Structure 1
Amino acid sequence: MANSTTDSELKSDAIMEQMKQHLSTDAGKQLTSKIGLVFQIQIGPKKLGVNEVIYTVDLKKGEVKKGPYEGGKPDATFSFKDEDFVKVALGKMNPQMAFIRGAMKIKGSLSAAQKFTPDIFPKPSSKL
């Protein structure tokens, strides 16, 4: 097994990869025009805020990329542990419950954050 700090071990990477492909489909394009926000998602392998991998989910341009948002400030920034992000993205954990339990931290606009729902993620095509 590789060193646990390598970012290739995040389960979230597979979801972000599917998200990239999803945004290039018609359903993904509708999502972009409907939401029109930029989310920055910070995912820690084991703990919030530790060794985080940062993703930008740009639902203005319809793209997902690794690294912090470069076009100013994102509308909302979320911090998760890898396993909690996967649960939220797959609809197994309600984002509001994740927030209440402290499994998700939010910075930025709360009205933007409320548009961050499992609906923005593609339904998983493969088991994660």
Structure 2
Amino acid sequence: MSDLKVAGFKSSEILETLGGAFGKYTETEKKAQIKKVNGIFELRIKNEEGKEGVWTIDLKKEGKVYQGPAKPKADVTIILSDDTFSQLAAGKLDGQKAFMTGKLKTKGNIMLATKLDGVLKVRVES
């Protein structure tokens, strides 16, 4: 899963852990998670140096995390800073609060974006 890790992005370590958690799922668990979320998240994360990294969480077809733009098209694109993503994943920041304060922006299905909190909790449980 090291293809998820990118130097200078704290988020990439979180996404690598999440990808590993998905990889440990049985086929039944993966199908249940896909059924529950039914969406593709494209994460556009900017680090402190201003560089942008793009990762995709596919919980519509494959149940995996990969680096790069969504294929097929994302249901929701979430744009945020590396720090904001780390806080969301750690449970220190609420997604709705981040959205309301402008720390998180979305394009596409905003209701699907609300499911990201639950998806990020998966890595904690694994």
TM-score by length of 1: 0.81
| Map 1:77-116 → 2, pairs under 5 A | 77-116=77-116
Instruction: Work out the number of aligned pairs and report it.
Output: 115
- Equivalent position of 1:37 in the other structure: 39
TM-score by length of 2: 0.82
CA distance in 2 between partners of 1:19 and 1:98 (Å): 21
- Equivalent position of 1:3 in the other structure: none
1:93-121 residue CA offsets vs partner (Å, 9 max, x unmatched): 0000000111101110122122221x212
Q: Which runs of 4+ in 1 moved over 4 A?
A: none
Structure 1 stretch 25-34 or stretch 106-115: which is displaced more?
Answer: 25-34
CA distance in 2 between partners of 1:16 and 1:82 (Å): 12
- Give unmatched runs, 5+ long, in structure 1: 1-6
- Equivalent position of 2:14 in the other structure: 15
**Aligned 8 A contact 1:76 1:110 in 2:** yes
1:46 matched to 2:48? The reply is: yes
Identity %: 30
- Judging by fraction of residues, say which structure has more helix: 2
**Aligned 8 A contact 1:58 1:64 in 2:** yes
Say if 1:34 and 1:25 are closer, same or farther in 2 by CA, change over 3 A: farther
1:6-53 residue CA offsets vs partner (Å, 9 max, x unmatched): x41210010010010111233862322311210000100027xx4210
Tell me how large the CA RMSD over aligned residues is. 1.9
